[in-house]
Every structure is written in C-alpha cells, then in structure tokens.
Amino acid sequence: MVIKRFRVMGRVQGVGFRYFVLREAANLGVDGWVRNCADGTVEALARGTTEDLGRLKERIQEGPRSSRVISVSVADGSDEDVPQGFEIRRDSF
C-alpha cells in the first residue's frame, strides 16, 4: 500500500468535486480523505495500491462535468492521518 497527496487546481470548489472524489475512492476501495483549501484548490490524501491510486488520479483529472481541472499535483504522503474508508473533511480555511 502506498499513500499519495493530491492537490487539484481549477474550478473545483462549489461543483460537487469532493463528493465526486469520495464516490470514486469508495468504488476503488481506497482509504483517505478530501477537503477544500483556502486557496481554491482541493486536497486529498489517499492510501491504496499503486494501480488504484493511478486510477484515482485519472478520475480526479477528469472530475465531474461541472468542474474544470487545470492540474493535479501528486506527492508522497504519510500514514499519520489516513482513516479506514474515505471521508470528506472540514475545509482547511
């Protein structure tokens, strides 16, 4: 299992993006969380297989129809705060 931190830029707040990520992660069996950030981005921390996290990144890059993803950055994450299952966290404002 690996852990990755995703940062999504574009029109990703107010368009159902977090719920989209929640559904996609749950379908893949990925653990973690997603939240809005004060700078207008969406951040997600996810734990799963390399293949599943690759699929999650592909889905995040597409986003829901109402969004417009400009870029997705990916960095290694740490295990300190990954829950079982996947959840939407409070905004980091």
The pLDDT tens digits for 46-84 are: 999 999 999 999 999 999 999 999 999 999 998 777 999
d(CA 91, CA 28): 24
Q: How many helices (H) and strands (E) does the chain have?
A: 2, 5
Q: State yes or no: is 18 an active-site residue.
A: yes
CATH of domain 2-88: 3.30.70.100
Catalytic residue among 11, 23, 36, 90: 36
Phi, psi of 60 (to 5 degrees): -60, -40
Confidence (pLDDT) at 51 = 98
Q: What residue type is assigned to position 64 of the chain?
A: P
In this prediction, residues 8-26 reach a mean pLDDT of 98
How much is the mean pLDDT over the chain?
A: 95
Every domain of the chain and the residues it spans:
2-88
Check whether 5 has a pLDDT greater than 90. Answer: yes
- Catalytic residue, chosen from 5, 7, 11, 18, is 18
Short-list 85, 93, 9, CA closest to 47: 85
Could you give the CA distance from residue 70 to residue 49 in angstroms, rounded to a whole number?
25
